Amino acid sequence: MLITERPGRLRIVRDGILDPTPVAGLPEILALNQGGLLDIAVHPRFEENSLIYFTYSQGTQEANGVAVGRGELRGSSLENVEVIFQAAPLKRGGQHFGSRMVWLPDDTLLVAIGDGGNPPVQLDGELIRLQAQNRGSHLGKIVRLNDDGSIPSDNPWQGDPNSDPAIWSYGHRNIQGLAIDSQRGHVWSTEHGARGGDELNRIEGGENYGWPLVTHSQEYTGGRISDRQSHPDMVDPDIVWTPAIAPSGLAVHGGDLFAGGLVSQSVHHIQLNESGEVIDQRAIAIASACAGCSGKS
Ligand SMILES: [Ca+2]
DSSP string, 86-114: E-SS-B-SS---EEEEEE-TTS-EEEEE-
pLDDT, average across residues 107-128: 97
Domains of the chain in sequence order: 1-86 (no CATH), 94-297 (2.120.10.30)
pLDDT band at residue 285 under the 50/70/90 scheme: confident
Which residue, among 211, 197, 291, has the nearest Cα to 239 in the 3D structure? 197
For the four alpha carbons of 204, 268, 259 and 254, in that order, the dihedral sign comes to negative
Largest Cα span, the chain: 59
pLDDT, average across residues 27-56: 98
Residue 231 is among the residues annotated as catalytic for this protein: no
CB atoms within 10 A of CB 224: 10
Burial 121-144 (b: 16+ CB within 10 A, else e): bebeeebbbbbbbbbebbbbbbbb
Residue 295 has pLDDT above 70, yes or no: no
Question: How remote is the CA of residue 191 from the centroid of ligand 1, in Å?
Answer: 8
CA distances from 65 to 77, 119, 127, 196 (A): 24, 18, 17, 26
Report d(CA 204, CA 124) in Å as an integer.
Answer: 29
Residue 297 has pLDDT above 60, yes or no: no
Q: What percent of the chain has pLDDT over 90?
A: 95
Residue 294 has pLDDT above 50, yes or no: no
Report d(CA 12, CA 297) in Å as an integer.
Answer: 23
Tallying the residues shown for the chain, one arrives at 297
Average pLDDT, the chain: 95
Residue 289 has pLDDT above 60, yes or no: no
Question: How remote is the CA of residue 237 from the centroid of ligand 1, in Å?
Answer: 6
pLDDT band at residue 290 under the 50/70/90 scheme: low
Question: How remote is the CA of residue 114 from the centroid of ligand 1, in Å?
Answer: 13
- Specify whether the CB–CB gap between 90 and 64 falls below 8 A: yes
Lowest mean pLDDT among 54-58, 117-121, 135-139, 282-286: 282-286
Q: What is the pLDDT of residues 181-233, one digit of tens each?
A: 999 999 999 999 999 999 999 999 999 999 999 999 999 999 999 999 999 99
Residue 62 has pLDDT above 90, yes or no: yes
pLDDT, average across residues 5-32: 97
Q: What is the pLDDT of residues 228-262, one digit of tens each?
A: 999 999 999 999 999 999 999 999 999 999 999 99
Position 154 scores a pLDDT of 98
Question: How remote is the CA of residue 252 from the centroid of ligand 1, in Å?
Answer: 21
Contacts 24+ apart (CB under 8 A), 95-99: 95/33, 95/34, 95/121, 96/34, 96/173, 96/174, 97/34, 97/35, 97/38, 97/57, 97/65, 97/66, 97/174, 98/38, 98/55, 98/66, 98/174, 98/175, 98/176, 99/38, 99/39, 99/55, 99/66, 99/175
Residue 281 has pLDDT above 80, yes or no: yes
Strand ordering across the sheet containing 247-253: 247-253, 256-261, 266-272, 278-284
The residue from 43, 96, 172, 268 that is catalytic is 96
Question: How remote is the CA of residue 211 from the centroid of ligand 1, in Å?
Answer: 5
pLDDT, average across residues 35-39: 98
Q: Is the peptide bond before 153 cis (omega within 30 degrees of 0)?
A: no
